[in-house]
Structure 1
Amino acid sequence: MNLKSLNNNKKMTVINGSHFSNLEGFYEEISELFIKDEGWKVGTLDGFDDILYGVNSDITWKNSQKSKEDLGFDLTKEFYENKIRQGKPFNVELIQQKLNDLIEGNGQNLFEILIEIIESHKNITLILD
């Protein structure tokens, strides 16, 4: 089997950044695209990672620049602060370190974390559009 026929077996999926402006909206978009008929929705980063196992797809993230801004520093800071406020079951020390790294300019924002999760799945090709 040549590479061309392998690629023909890949599904095409489009994440549309104009459909959401926060993490909850991203989860809604992803749930609609990947687990529409499953009876549950993605609600965490781990859950997002989990549904990508077994996915063989070219994913185009349309309006990715908008998502990069929407899921950037401010939303990420708020995301970490909310987890710290909640406390258990979260590892508050680890999350505080991630927040400190973010504030110091060394940490990842939510957009970068989502990209990293997608790119960790070898059967997925990500195209930022």
Structure 2
Amino acid sequence: MPLVRIDIRRNPDPSHVRKLGAVVYEALKATIGVPDRDNFQILNEHDEQHFVYDPAYLGIERTDGMVFIQITISEGRTVEQKKLLYQRIAEGLHAEAGVRPEDVFINLLEVKKENWSFGNGQAQYVT
């Protein structure tokens, strides 16, 4: 059910952004119960002109290694589940891809289940 969008500044390693996606998917499965095979991601790389961030907003020192992650999910998770998800993503990206935790920016969008269609013009989650 999640739709994940990951945006980074262009990386010389073509497999880098897919590695980030794998970490995020594993964190979703471990923390909020996303099932196997429920992996839908949009992975984008940008040049410096199309990748903008404040290097010190809220006192967090950011670098060009920034990773923007936007996750759209069905509503219903607790605040504790969300906090655990954020932590697991930041720790996983650091351990698996060398991303500084300060460079992990996550935006979670919650929608009602009726707002999903996974194909065939049907609302699969509407009963």
Give the TM-score taking structure 1 as reference length: 0.28
More helix by share: 1
Larger Rg: 1
